[in-house]
Amino acid sequence: MYLLKSFGAASLLAATVANAAQVVLNWDITYTNANPDGLQERRVIGVNGQWPPPPVEATINDTLVINVHNSLDVPTAVHSHGMFQNNTAYMDGPSMVTQCPIPPGHDFTYEFNITQHGTYWIHSHYMGQYMDGFRTPLILHNTVETYQYDYDRTVTLVDWYHAESTEGLATFLNEYNPTGAEPIPDSGLIMDNANASLTFTPGKTYRLRLINMSGFVTYHYSIDNHTLDVIEVDGVEVQRQPMDMVSLTAAQRVSVLVTAKNDTSMNYYMHADMDTEMLDSLPDTLQYNISIPIFYDQTHTNFGAIQNIAFNNTSFDDTILQPVEVLAAVEPDVSINLEINFDVTTDGINRGMFNDLPYLPPKVPTLNTLFSEGQYPLSSEVYGPQTGVHILKHLDMVQLVLNNKDGNDHPFHLHGHVFQVVGRGDGYYDNNSSITLNTTNPMRRDTIRVPGEGYTIIRFRADNPGVWFFHCHIEWHLESGLAVTLVEAPDVAQQRMTLPSSMSEMCTAGGIPATGNAAGKKGLDLSGAPSGVTLIYDGFTARGKGAMAGCIIAALLGIATIVWFAHADPQKEARAIVESKHMQ
Ligand code: CU1
Ligand code: CU1
Ligand code: CU1
Ligand code: CU1
């Protein structure tokens, strides 16, 4: 170090480069079996025969290389959640957005520079596959961390299903589920295990990196009798903010500093409580509040009193957090209103959608279309009628107004960016709303809770040319269509990037066209592009239509019941008629 210093700035630069490592992971994606809740063994998706997949650690300026071999019998795709992927948009991972999925038996290498630090995660971005276990923390260290702490621990939270995600999707995206009731998890897990624990050394400070890797539920997190000092959300460092509890929607991360007591006479519990408001039914078999011990002293079982803090989904207001790196919000150049709702569509399925149009994946990945249909760099038609494409101009300040007409909260995630959250509240936001926005130094993050029948306003600079998915991170909702595609500065993307040839080879291997518009054709011939899954009746409100579809199906079920009863036992016919009337 002394030697280097004496050589001056040039050598320091050399030293920085020399420190930047290549972190190479060889991942064979495999099925294996696991029983993490101790209730039921099931097939899971792991890495190199292991489950859970290994956590990934790297340091800013490193290069991350993930050599993937797909040993599953279905395609896969790997997303590093929260990475900006500046100039490597094609390494982002979402299937049919920035790449063709990796076919069974095929290899693909993800390689990108780590330009960020903080808490992230890596997960499958192919259908609901990450709920089958293909998800793991991605911890990125800074060269010198802003906050001081003695120990760094990762605490993952997940919802756990005994049924495979394809089974859950088949039940959820089904005409017999007109209200869109989501599959209810069977368990909750802290650190992928029903019997995990942590150990605290007295007086030491712990950075706990909380990651909600769930497919569905929001968790409220607390530790009895300990304060949580929030220092990071979604990779953005914030001014130290003491809290009794923090909430994390699916895909959110929060780092907290916790200082251990100078007393080993008591051990304490940490708690992760599911936000039950989002569950359509509350089975007795599900343990909603999960707790694991933090041991100060493993030789005794004296536990500090369990604090019964009453949490709900508004107990933790993340919008009060202030990023360490101050950035004021500026007036947007463009504002896009995105209405969120759920409704039964022409295919008989209750779907989530933006602006009355559910997302349908195109026949060619949108990024491939961007590169191959270069003559239409600033028109959205080539991307297809139902990919929800919005073209963003390079360097515009973009505002998304998220108006949630659904009664439930939804966690919205933007790929390739963090955004500023300048407003959030109840009701519908429009130009006439007299709301004072927070423009001083608003919180930035990559996944935000949008309240039920409320709004959230986010802003970001369109400084990252590429194709970025924006969607609800509840896997059931994403798969039903609650997504749009932001095609950002396509003209600049074409100048700056070239798709690696391995990407077209992968499309060909999977029988997917590597070039062309959303229909796999040239120019503006979009015949055959996925479309036509739309709202059913005009003139009804969304809520009315959902209720109407529910009534029709209830009536059909009622009639079926009458027929069945009549055949099975004529004496029950009268009762069946009464029941069918009740259902209507
Ligand atoms: Cu992401
Ligand atoms: Cu994600
Ligand atoms: Cu959602
Ligand atoms: Cu995504």
The pLDDT tens digits of the residues spanning 164-191 come to: 999 999 999 999 999 999 999 999 999 9
Residues 348 and 299 in one domain: no
Same domain, 96 and 57: yes
Same domain membership, residue 158 and residue 285: yes
Residues whose Cβ atom is located within 5 A of ion ligand 3: 410, 472, 474, 477
Does residue 187 belong to any structural domain of this protein?
A: yes
According to DSSP, residue 184 is labeled: P
| Same domain as 82, residue 152 | no
Q: What is the pTM of this model?
A: 0.90
pLDDT at 168: 98
- The strands making up 334-344's β-sheet, listed across from edge to edge, are 350-354, 334-344, 397-404, 454-461, 419-426, 444-445
Closest CA to 517 of 389, 410, 335, 347: 389
The answer on 234 and 198 residing in a single domain is yes
Whether 105 and 153 share a structural domain: no
Closest CA to 421 of 313, 323, 337, 312: 323
Ligand with minimal distance to 252 CA: 2
Together in a domain, 185 and 80: no
Q: What value, to the nearest 5°, has the Cα angle with vertex 496 and ends 495 and 497? A: 105
Kindly state whether residues 39 and 131 are assigned to the same domain: yes
Give me the pLDDT at residue 539, please.
Answer: 52
Strand blocks (E) in 386-465:
389-392, 397-404, 410-414, 419-426, 444-445, 447-450, 454-461
CA of 80 to the centre of ligand 1 (A): 7
Residue at a domain's end among 100, 116, 140: 140
Q: Mapping DSSP to helix (H, G, I), strand (E, B) and coil, where does residue 491 land?
A: helix
CATH number of the domain enclosing 411: 2.60.40.420
3 vs 360: CA distance, rounded Å: 59
Per-residue confidence (pLDDT) for residue 20, from 0 to 100: 81
Instruction: Answer whether residue 523 is part of any domain.
Output: no
- Whether residue 181 is contained in a domain is answered as yes
CA 272 to ligand 2 center in whole angstroms: 20
The residue with tokens 């409100």 is 541
What residues make up the domain containing 263?
147-323
Whether 471 and 367 share a structural domain = yes
What is the 3-class SS of 530-584, one letter each residue? CCCCCECCCCCCHHHHHHHHHHHHHHHHHHHHHHHHHHHCHHHHHHHHHHHHHHC
User: Are 135 and 151 found together in one domain?
Assistant: no
Burial of 511 (0-12, 13-18, 19+ CB in 10 A): exposed
Number of domains in the chain: 4
Cα of 4 to ligand 2 centre, how many Å? 41
Query: Dihedrals φ, ψ of 432, to 5°?
Result: -90, -5
Q: How many CB atoms lie within 10 A of CB 539?
A: 6
In a domain, 105, yes or no: yes
Residue 525 located in a structural domain: no
Q: Quote the pLDDT of residue 540.
A: 52
Q: Would 365 be classed as within a structural domain?
A: yes
494 with 579, same domain: the answer is no
Q: How far does residue 288's CA lie from ligand 1's centre (Å)?
A: 27
pLDDT for res 538: 58
**Nearest ligand to the C-alpha atom of residue 486:** 4
Q: Which stretches of the chain score pLDDT less than 50? A: 1-16, 542, 545, 552, 554-584
> Can you tell me the distance from the alpha carbon of 494 to that of 27, in angstroms, rounded to the nearest whole number?
31
Q: Is the residue at 528 inside a domain?
A: no
Give yes or no: residues 129 and 195 share one domain: no
DSSP structure class, residue 382: G
- Joined tokens for residue 396: 């515009």
277, 299, 323 — which closes off a domain?
A: 323
**DSSP annotation string for 57-104:** EEETT-EEEEEEEE-SSS-B-EEEET---TT-GGGS--BTTTBPPBPT
Can you tell me which residue has the tokens 């859950």?
168
* Distance from the alpha carbon of residue 319 to the mean position of ligand 2, in angstroms: 21
